[in-house]
Amino acid sequence: MMRILIVEDETRLARRLARVLRGEGYAAETVGDGRSALARALAEPFDLLIVDWMLPDLDGIQVVRRLRTAEMSVPILMLTARGQIEDRVTGLDAGADDYLPKPFALSEMLARVRAIARWPRDEKKTDLILRAGDVSLDPVRHAVWRAEEPVDLSAKEFALLATFMQRPKQVFTRSVLLDTVWGGHDDNYGNVVDLYVSYLRKKLDHEGARSHIRTVRGVGYTFDPQPGP
Ligand code: CA
């Protein structure tokens, strides 16, 4: 079943879209702000995101940019009341795949969703598997393996590992990780990153070997594909 995430702060519209999509046999869920959208989309595999431009905190364009920066290739349909051609270009440049000006007929929205559902995706699915050393991560099936053995991760652990594996050897600060995985950075949450890194290390690392996730003192963490013995 095709999974759709609707990102729209106008609750009534969001609910109506979800209802119509479910009526057509899609699995639809809604979130009302940009940060929650980012956190959901990074934690779970969706087949389509419907993202309104005007949102509280992060706007739709920022959500799209951040997802594309994280190399999430999920199709994105932008909604916007801003009908100008320049806005359309901005949306597409940011990485949206299609664009629907408000107000729109629900039949028009469904036609766009059906069109996106027909896009070839098999190629993308295999390309999406991330591999680094003996660790593989499949964002579509939400699965992780270490040395061919499945590793059972929580949604946040998975999102954190995906963030690391999309950019092996890049050093991430705690605040970037908080922003990407937890959808916001409040300094009081710095410990959350450390805690989840310790969970991931327990699950991923071979006993007695060096950790895949290396602490960079005073900066943050980095993923090392070949940590060595
Ligand atoms: Ca809105």
Please tell me the distance between residue 134's alpha carbon and the centre of ligand 1 in angstroms: 43
pLDDT over 70 (residue 190): no
Q: What pairs with residue 143 in β-bridges?
A: 138
Q: Is 228 within 8 Å of 210 (Cβ atoms)?
A: yes
CATH number of the structural domain 3-124: 3.40.50.2300
Mean confidence (pLDDT) of the chain: 86
Please tell me the distance between residue 7's alpha carbon and the centre of ligand 1 in angstroms: 8
71 SS3 class = coil
State the pLDDT at residue 43: 87
State the pLDDT at residue 124: 46
Please state the domain extents for the chain. Answer: 3-124, 128-223
Please tell me the distance between residue 179's alpha carbon and the centre of ligand 1 in angstroms: 21
Please tell me the distance between residue 23's alpha carbon and the centre of ligand 1 in angstroms: 23
Give this prediction's pTM. Answer: 0.56
What does the pLDDT look like over 24-66, one tens digit per residue? 999 999 999 999 999 999 888 899 999 999 999 899 999 999 9
Please tell me the distance between residue 166's alpha carbon and the centre of ligand 1 in angstroms: 30
State the pLDDT at residue 125: 44
Q: Is 7 within 8 Å of 40 (Cβ atoms)?
A: no
Please tell me the distance between residue 33's alpha carbon and the centre of ligand 1 in angstroms: 9
- Same fold yes or no, 3-124 and 128-223: no
Q: Which two tokens mark 45?
A: 């595999």
**Mean pLDDT score, 162-176:** 87
Q: Give me the half-sphere count of Cα atoms (radius 13 Å) on the Cβ side of residue 158.
A: 22
What does the pLDDT look like over 120-148, one tens digit per residue? 654 444 456 788 888 888 877 788 988 87
State the pLDDT at residue 117: 78
Q: Is 80 within 8 Å of 102 (Cβ atoms)?
A: yes
Please tell me the distance between residue 79's alpha carbon and the centre of ligand 1 in angstroms: 8
HEC secondary structure over 98-156: EEEECCCCHHHHHHHHHHHHCCCCHHHHHHHCEEECCEEEECCCCEEEECCEEECCCHH
Please count the other Cβ atoms lying within 10 Å of the Cβ belonging to residue 56.
11
73 SS3 class = coil
CATH number of the structural domain 128-223: 1.10.10.10
Beta strands in the chain (DSSP E): 3-7, 27-31, 48-52, 76-80, 98-101, 130-132, 135-138, 143-146, 149-151, 171-173, 213-216, 220-223
Q: What pairs with residue 150 in β-bridges?
A: 145
Residue 137 has phi, psi (to 5 degrees) of -140, 125
How far apart are the C-alpha atoms of 60 and 30, rounded to whole Å? 14
Please tell me the distance between residue 158's alpha carbon and the centre of ligand 1 in angstroms: 29
Q: What pairs with residue 76 in β-bridges?
A: 49
pLDDT over 80 (residue 228): no
pLDDT over 70 (residue 184): no
Which of 109-113, 164-168, 180-184, 220-224 comes out lowest in average pLDDT?
180-184
State the pLDDT at residue 84: 65
Beta 76-80 vs 48-52: how paired, if at all?
parallel
State the pLDDT at residue 196: 92
Please tell me the distance between residue 13's alpha carbon and the centre of ligand 1 in angstroms: 9
How far apart are the C-alpha atoms of 153 and 21, rounded to whole Å? 30
Q: Which two tokens mark 158?
A: 């998975």
